[in-house]
Structure 1
């Protein structure tokens, strides 16, 4: 069993893509498996890392380790590509995959469209080539949402094999229960943001919304790995930290303490394909804890079709009631149920 990916170390385990890899790996931890990561520029000296007693990671250079890479692909009965990101460096090797081998693409996202949107035209075209090439060989495509499957079916109408939705769920979420959304009897309304200052987070919009909707009845909590930069951005708009606004850096283990207390959470994504097919782990976390998202666009993944509760940023006011959403918590319970009892053989279409 060959996984085409760079299995995350401890420093990257919190990332969305890394959590996906860990979740998939947990489904087949009894199987012998190999992880292969290939670079055109790096790893002229091959790196080998033991992930577990029956899993090994190889980091190779495409030129120097050409024959090892081709042998690994030729020998594998099951090949599992984590995103077209890991298809591109292996394009010259796809011809070595045996016809009877099972090839699976875990899409993760719409990589070519993401790159083209950010102006990286050449990289976008290269990943478009990689995506088109793997769709010419793949047996099953795993998506994070039904919306993503619809996108691919429109993009590749001649590909007639099966899609399977397997949502991205944060690793610390196991069982949704009403204890996550118990009302704390707090007179204040708690609004939070969890994340950094990337452009797609629409931080300037969030700061304007905070500035225009401040009152003694609302406490804003911003949890970020960039507290200095966030504080400076707030100050530029005349907002002083400490006056109903807190900027914190918290460890992953502390997040649930703040999520349990929060009533609303900012997730200000634009209305575009990248977000319409996504399954953001932050949004799943918000819903799991009964938090009501404050959104710029409500069209994020499958959640609008599933009936999640949200507040549009145009309707935000300083009179937000302090309440949790049972609807959102129950929605995540249904979402989680879709993955319950799904083993790896079923996931890749190799049920016995």
Structure 2
């Protein structure tokens, strides 16, 4: 009898990033001999033996609905810590603590986005999970054509793609660019965000002159990103960020954008080696020091061999860290091993 698993994928849980990640896991199951189906309807799960869910919350709900099911839970982030960080709610944090503890204890397989996330959950909840798999968040393959655009690396063009929430450090990003613009008058900044009104307010607050605010659909994002030399990914030293693997890094590198990022994401520190062709900032340095690091890098990036060396560094990251085929094979082997 063929092994079967149903992927429970409610509409609101799916976007470009999650679809790509889930597809890798599906292919791993198929390669391991499983038949794979998916549903958005909880009622379809009543008599199913093995079920994949998108979060600890859904593990809790599905397990109550079908207590005998073996659940595969994807831990995308730290629900309890995020509730406190983004909503400042101790009540929500405590509720998430209960849900996460339940999911860790009663899942058949736990999937984490980083080794640091796995270690954090083990340390906090003291639940030993035998069956776990680790894979970073990513959603794009390398586009080498993006490295060959004429004059791309000759112009100091900067981009920020994403929301304007405080935890995404948009104000720190604008503060850095404000300082850069004073040292490099030709520098330009593009904000790719839905919230144009708030973006305009923030731009004026930091007195940035050479800027553009735009929004593109997910289908157009790659074609837009590949125009720029630098991309900002600034985060504060907080456990939510320490355990994360933001897809923004993958999006930037896939499109030949030089990442400017702080050294607080443990998985990047472990797996994306410090490179002369990426701009890694010390999270505890001043904005002035960050500006000096970036402007110094920009003056050296005009060297003739820069583009080729940068591409080679990015190829290595995609071979070792953002390798879809590797994770499918590794997940398949993992499933066969646990039976």
TM-score by length of 2: 0.78
Bigger shift: residues 147-156 or 188-197: 147-156
Name the counterpart of 1:342.
328
Name the counterpart of 1:261.
227
CA distance 1:257–1:289, shift in 2 (3 Å): same
1:218 Cα deviation from its structure 2 partner: 1.7
Name the counterpart of 1:2.
6
Name the counterpart of 1:85.
57
CA distance 1:255–1:158, shift in 2 (3 Å): closer
Contact 2:162–2:192 under 8 Å retained in 1: yes
Contact 1:88–1:126 under 8 Å retained in 2: no
CA distance 1:315–1:300, shift in 2 (3 Å): same
1:89-117 deviation per Cα after TM superposition (whole angstroms, max 9, x unaligned): 446446x21xxx53321111111111122
- Equivalent pairs counted in the alignment come to 306
Q: Higher RCO, 1 or 2 (CA under 8 Å, sep at least 6)? A: 2
1:228 Cα deviation from its structure 2 partner: 2.5
Q: Does 1:299 align with 2:285?
A: no
1:19 Cα deviation from its structure 2 partner: 4.7
CA distance 1:293–1:117, shift in 2 (3 Å): same
Name the counterpart of 2:37.
33
1:348 Cα deviation from its structure 2 partner: 6.9
Contact 1:140–1:348 under 8 Å retained in 2: no
**Residue number among 177, 186, 190 corresponding to 1:221 in the alignment:** 190
Contact 1:142–1:163 under 8 Å retained in 2: yes
Q: Does 1:271 align with 2:237?
A: yes
1:164 Cα deviation from its structure 2 partner: 1.0
**Residue number among 279, 282, 290 corresponding to 2:256 in the alignment:** 290
CA distance 1:177–1:188, shift in 2 (3 Å): closer
Bigger shift: residues 144-153 or 22-31: 22-31
- Structure number with the higher helix fraction is 2
CA distance 1:286–1:145, shift in 2 (3 Å): same
| 1:285 partner SS | helix
Bigger shift: residues 154-163 or 102-111: 154-163
Q: Does 1:109 align with 2:77?
A: yes
| 1:270 partner SS | coil
RMSD over equivalenced CA pairs, Å: 3.0
Q: Does 1:192 align with 2:194?
A: no
Contact 1:28–1:344 under 8 Å retained in 2: no
1:216 Cα deviation from its structure 2 partner: 3.1
Tell me the distance in 1 between the aligned counterparts of 2:143 and 2:208.
37
| 1:135 partner SS | helix
Unaligned runs of 5+ in 2: 282-286
1:164-206 deviation per Cα after TM superposition (whole angstroms, max 9, x unaligned): 1122221xx23x2543333633531221110121111122212
CA distance 1:343–1:231, shift in 2 (3 Å): same
1:21 Cα deviation from its structure 2 partner: 3.9
Tell me the distance in 2 between the aligned counterparts of 1:224 and 1:180.
21
CA distance 1:347–1:283, shift in 2 (3 Å): farther
